[in-house]
Amino acid sequence: MAAGIDEIVEGFEFIDDWEERIRYLIELGRELEPLPDSARTAANKVQGCASQVWLETNVGDGPDPVLTFRGDSDAHLVRGLVAVMIALYSGKRAGQILATDAGQLMDRIQLREHLTPQRSNGLKSMVERIKREAAAAAGVTSGAA
């Protein structure tokens, strides 16, 4: 993905108009590399999302491995949310992922207040899935959410 999380935050902070922010979010989704059909499996499907969302996780080696994520959705806006979460979490160590609060980011870029309850729940499901994958990779047995 072209945009890093700092660049995404700057983009949102630069845009005042909510409709423009939605367009920016959709554009971020368009820049997301599409998942191949082979990755659109039941195991990669994120449960709890109103739209179809798939998240593929690759885990590195070691006690605090680096996790990388690829994702996709059948809805343009949700695909943008997937892109933001990938920018936030992909390429980080499991411990960093567990310590990163997506809610703070969503508040900072004023996105959470504009999402429908369904989209907010889907976003929460996506973050919980990412954190579960990180906890499993780090060998943490008490759930992480």
Active site residue ranges: 49
Amino acid type, 131: K
Please, is 83 exposed, middle or buried when counting C-beta atoms within 10 Å of its C-beta (0-12, 13-18, 19+)?
buried
Q: Taking each helix axis from N to C terminus, what angle separates 117-138 and 76-89, rounded to the nearest 10 degrees?
A: 30
DSSP state of 110: T
Assign residue 73 a region (left: φ > 0; alpha: ψ between -120 and 50; beta: otherwise).
Answer: beta
Give 69's Cβ-side CA count (13 Å radius). Answer: 29
The three-state secondary structure class of 56 is strand
